[in-house]
Amino acid sequence: MTSNLALLSDGGLSCASVFSAKQAKEPPHPPQVLSLAGIRKNEIDRSHSLVAPSCLTFKCEFRIHKFVDPQKTDIPTEDRIIHDHPLQANTTLGVGGPARYYLPVTTVGQLKGAVDWARQQGIPFVVLAGGSNVVIADDGVEGLVVHLQIKGREVHIQGEDVFLRVQAGEHWDYVVEYAVANGWAGIECLSGIPGSVGATPIQNVGAYGQQVSDTIATVEVLDLFTKKIVSFSNSDCGFGYRTSRFRTTDWGRYVVTSVTYRLQKDGRPIVRYPELAQFLQDRRFEHPTLAQVRGAVRTLRQRKAMLYDPNEVNSHSCGSFFVNPVLSQSEYEQFLERARQANLLGPQETPPTFALESGDYKISAAWLIERAGFRRGSRLGRAGISERHALALINLGGAKSRDIIALAQLIQTQVHDKFGIELHPEPIFIGFAQPPLAGAKCLP
């Protein structure tokens, strides 16, 4: 029986491949894997606050979730599978049609069983962890959508190092909150990012001068070829700017099941990002604590409507819709010359730029969008640009995915025509046979 598997690995994150279960163990075109980052609307529940082993004493109390045995396959019964489930409520953008089949899973065994069930039925298979980084097609998903809800955490302390192992379905911001509350440094600047833990290694999540590749020790995945759990060290993950091996060379082979972060016990925050540093300086935090840095980051994100709020339309988005482009030294110089010749940049003016250790330059996509002529608050049908942040494309109410795509296409065209730079979308497009935008990743 032929099986068309499309698996999303959290966040981030072309298209799904078709292969037969009777083919070799490693088919030439693997199924697409992408666990979608994001939180379900109105899903935040403090009862899921993070956990510490009972043998340790911490500053706050957390509910305990133990890891489950990942080896036993649990094939779903028909009564567990929901038919024609609307997916709009599972995304922060709030667009898209229904899933033909929908199945929440809470163990790795259930995830394995869902894979087997999809193969037996010969239908597409998509793993959805939350939905903040996805655009779902108006026609929905013709196949099985698995909602990844696997919970669990473990803590091991070795000297000054804290190894925090977290299951892929945990809410990311709760993990940051937990680490900060216990004085563990390394991820405090990543506060407020919607999504699940499984998303973080896929796209090497980063913000305000930190990225998870700085702290990830190991990533555990389900290998879809062997159905075994495999562990990758940091150096084996192929991390780059907003990418990893799970999004490039091994796209489609693995589903992230847990991540272990190496944090610093009683650590101090290192503030690198200019906007964050200025915010703290203005409040006279000369030696800010982890909690003060976390609070500052969340305040900055809230000002930009980058914290989801059901009552704030400017937050009804995928977060940052486009990735900040990275230019080499020569490309950067060509960009400056072209922009100045077109009077898009003053003779002594420089755009918001972040120099990378590689010698490349990361340019603000939001700045490019605004200089290309798009103002915050601009609209196209029921789609719009947030009044708070030019990188967020929002659902003004009643928008379709085609409305969001039309606006994104217009932005891509204008930026390329004026600056010669192609903006690549960050979200994953689900239910699309072909990429709807240049540089987009899609799953049917």
Structure tokens at 81: 């599978």
Number of C-alpha atoms within 13 angstroms, CB side, residue 98? 8
Taking the C-alpha atoms of residue 251 and residue 31, their distance in angstroms, rounded to an integer, is 8
Q: To which residue do tokens 């803590």 refer?
A: 155
Distance of CA 303 to the CA centre of its chain: 20
The torsion of the CA quartet 131, 137, 141, 146, rounded to 10 degrees, works out to -10
Helix axes 274-282, 290-303, angle to 10 degrees: 110
Measured CA distances, 41 to 130, 146, 385 (Å) = 9, 17, 20
Give first-to-last CA distance, the chain, whole Å.
19
Structure tokens at 343: 């009077």
Phi-psi region of 318 (alpha: psi -120 to 50; beta: other; left: phi over 0): alpha
> Which ranges constitute the DSSP H helices of 304-444?
329-341, 365-371, 401-419
Taking the C-alpha atoms of residue 164 and residue 144, their distance in angstroms, rounded to an integer, is 32
One-letter amino acid for residue 172 of the chain? W
Distance of CA 166 to the CA centre of its chain: 16
35 and 71 in contact (C-beta within 8 Å)?
no
What one-character DSSP code corresponds to residue 23?
Answer: S
Taking the C-alpha atoms of residue 268 and residue 434, their distance in angstroms, rounded to an integer, is 46
Q: To which residue do tokens 């928008």 refer?
A: 399
Q: Annotated active-site positions, please? A: 242, 320, 426
Taking the C-alpha atoms of residue 284 and residue 359, their distance in angstroms, rounded to an integer, is 32
Q: To which residue do tokens 């709020």 refer?
A: 309
Instruction: Give the E-state strand segments of 174-295 in sequence order.
Output: 184-185, 206-207, 210-211, 216-223, 229-233, 254-265
